[in-house]
Amino acid sequence: MKVKFPKRAAFVMLSAVIPAFMSSCGGKTGISVVVAGSTSVQPYVEMLAEEYELLCPGIVVDIQGGGSSAGVTAVESRTADVGMSSRELNEKERELWSTVIAKDGLALIAHPDNPVDNLAIGQIRDIYSGKITNWRELNGADAKIHIISREEGSGTRSAFEDMVMAGEPVTPKAIVQNSNGAVRLLVSNDPNAVGFISLGLIGNQAGLKPVKALKLDGVSPTRENVINGGYSLYRPFLLVAESEPEGAAKLFVDFILSEEGQRLLVEEGLVSVREGTGE
């Protein structure tokens, strides 16, 4: 997440320009929007909600995690106004209202000292299904591959399974971690590890030990390559609702899809709806 602008200063500045933004608040006060679902989408929506609450002090956005499936269930049972999902909706869920707010690439990562820097999708599948167990088989060092996966039910894992595994189960021998950050930390420390995380979270910035994003069939996992269609591992981030949102929920969704909202998502490393994915 980027560094926060001091809230009070922002507020003072905003009160000067608030009339200009009134349209995006609908003149409403004292209402709340409940958002629940995918923990992959959650940090981005939290960031957007903070910005939105500065624009519209009258509206409170209440955000809960729980996972993509829990988000959909919450919307169906009306315990949440808006659900977040980091995977496509399945057959049964298609009847719900939904909108793509951004796309997120999925990157395979390894330790910077690992000589391997390119994998074919079939090789990734063979690693994660347990058929390839040594880096030597991939022209790397003679060392056992330490496979790191995500926990059962995670949106990131189900996106990975859909796009890469083609129905084959992930080997039970894989190490399981329950967040993008934990996977990244392990890979940055272990020369023989391989893992997959959200493209926006590779972030080799100061203070974090670096990790190497592996190329897929020769294409680097970058935002640009997702946009131009060269890199094929990406998934949509969706907002879901029981029916088309109204009132405060609609205003918040509109804010996310607005130029400002999309710009904020791009700053965080996602691919905005406007940029497309070369389809």
Partner 1 sequence: MRKFKEKLSERIFFALALSSISVLALITLFIFIKGVPLIAEVGAFKFIFGMSWAPGRGEFGIFPMIIGSVSVTLGAAVLGIPVGICCSIFMAEFAPVWMRNIFRPAIQLLAGIPSVVYGFWGLLFVVPAIRNYLGGPGLSILAGSVILAIMILPTIISISEVSLLALPRHYKEGALALGMTHWQTIRSVQLPAAKSGIVAAVILGIGRAIGETMAVIMVLGNSVAVPQSVLDPVRTLTTNIGIEMGYASGGHQQALFATGIVLFVIIMALNVSAQYITRRKIK
Binding region for partner 1 (CB under 8 A)? 39, 65-70, 73, 144, 146, 151-155, 158, 169, 171-178, 182, 185-186, 189-190, 192-193
Please report how close the Cβ of residue 157 comes to partner 1 at its closest, in angstroms.
Answer: 9
Distance CA 231, CA 223 (A): 9
Please report how close the Cβ of residue 189 comes to partner 1 at its closest, in angstroms.
Answer: 6
Please report how close the Cβ of residue 187 comes to partner 1 at its closest, in angstroms.
Answer: 11
| Nearest to partner 1 of 70, 201 (CB atom) | 70
Please report how close the Cβ of residue 69 comes to partner 1 at its closest, in angstroms.
Answer: 5
| Nearest to partner 1 of 55, 186 (CB atom) | 186
Please report how close the Cβ of residue 238 comes to partner 1 at its closest, in angstroms.
Answer: 16
| Nearest to partner 1 of 160, 231 (CB atom) | 160
| Nearest to partner 1 of 27, 172 (CB atom) | 172
| Nearest to partner 1 of 171, 222 (CB atom) | 171
Q: 223-240 in b/e burial notation, b at 16+ Cβ within 10 A?
A: bebbbeebbbbbbbbbbb
